[in-house]
């Protein structure tokens, strides 16, 4: 009984691990299912970089408008201008 369970756990562990494309560490396959190719700690670094980058992408979308997040980088050159 327990032997079977142990075997099952090892098989599951092999099955659920995916490899980080950044550092080579193994991470949960469930995370890969969500569309991530990197492990949690590498993801944290990327998320932090993105947060810093996105914090620069705020501006008024119209005259006297409040600051809003601008998702598309190309909008930064044209936003708020009359086209
Ligand atoms: Zn990693």
Mean pLDDT of the chain: 79
- Measured in angstroms, how far is the CA atom of residue 25 from the centroid of ligand 1? 5
In the prediction, which pLDDT does 36 show? Answer: 92
Q: What is the pLDDT of residue 10?
A: 54
Cα 43 to middle of ligand 1, angstroms: 7
For 16-37, the pLDDT digits (tens) are 689 999 999 999 989 999 999 9
Q: What global pTM score does this model have? A: 0.50
Compute the distance from residue 31 Cα to the ligand 1 centre, in Å.
12
Per DSSP, the residues of 8-55 read HHHHHHHHHEEE-TTT--EEEHHHHHTT--S-HHHHHHHHHHHHHHHH
> In the predicted model, what is the mean pLDDT of residues 52-64?
84
């Amino acid at each position: 009984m327990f032997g079977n369970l142990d075997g099952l756990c090892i098989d599951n562990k092999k099955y659920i691990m995916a490899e980080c494309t950044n550092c080579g560490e193994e991470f949960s396959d469930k995370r890969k299912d969500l569309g991530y190719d990197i492990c949690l700690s590498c993801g944290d670094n990327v998320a932090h970089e993105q947060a810093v980058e996105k914090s620069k992408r705020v501006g008024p979308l119209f005259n006297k408008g409040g600051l809003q997040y601008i998702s598309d980088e190309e909008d930064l050159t044209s936003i708020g201008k009359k086209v």
